[in-house]
Amino acid sequence: MATNVPRNPFARMALVASDTSRAQEAYEALLGQQDWAPLEEADVAVVLGGDGFMLQTLHAMLDAGRIIPAYGMNLGTVGFLMNRYDRRAVIANRLAKANRKSITPLRMTAVLQNGEKQTLCAINEVSLLRETRQTAKIEVTVGSRVRIKELTGDGVLVATPAGSTAYNLSANGPILPLDSEMLALTPISPFRPRRWRGAILPDRMPIKLRVLDPDKRPVAAVADQKELRDIAEVTVEKAQDTALELLFDPGQSLEERIVAEQFVVD
């Protein structure tokens, strides 16, 4: 009998799971569905866990220099980047029907107080955070102009549209449509300037954050889950040469989730 299920476009699939008990149980349940390939040889990754583990998996691809599409199934808490988990579903069939969404990460170039320079990518956000009880003092430059000579508070973050519903939203930043080509620049518990609550910026404009009085007020920089301490300054830009691809079940697009999040009132 003919079926309406399209052909799975992926020949070699990898199955990866976080170390939580729920994810490991799902991993064992799905192992027998087919022959799985190692992640480094696969052309798609099936990711079991939560948003944090999805970010961890995507960063592993970035670090290895080999990026393949990722299809997540939520066995965490929020699951914003994931699909619904169903142990009865045939993974190959779900992949065959999945819609693709490309997202572009940020590239953070950080200069440490000792002069060392490091570059990290961020899929959700780059955050500058005070290291001690002293508030951070940060100079904010957007494009080629200093926009805020001294921002005083717990820190500041730069969020992508995909990350705008994460830490950025908790810091009272705006939710950005996925195709907006904008970034959110959001202060974290700002003290001065009192009335500045952040900005929405074109993603083509570089953002430079320079730490003021670093000896008394040291600042750390965090790109998603990776932290650097004793920062002198960071420059944040869209990584134009890098694209990640997420797969979503029909009717479960990331765009719809970002729109729906703006109507959550509980």
- Active centre residues (catalytic): 51
Provide the token pair at 181: 């080509």
Decide: 143 and 225 in contact? Cβ < 8 Å.
no
Decide: 206 and 236 in contact? Cβ < 8 Å.
yes
Residue count of the chain, please give it.
Answer: 266
Residues 6+ apart with CB under 8 A from 55: 81, 123, 124, 224, 225
Cα–Cα distance between 32 and 234 in angstroms, integer?
Answer: 47
Q: Which of 180-184's residues contact partners 24+ apart within 8 Å by CB, and which partners?
A: 183/106, 183/158, 183/159, 183/207, 183/238, 184/157, 184/158, 184/159
Cα–Cα distance between 109 and 94 in angstroms, integer?
Answer: 38
Cα–Cα distance between 157 and 199 in angstroms, integer?
Answer: 11
- Sequence letter at residue 241: D
Provide the token pair at 15: 């199955």
Residues 6+ apart with CB under 8 A from 3: none
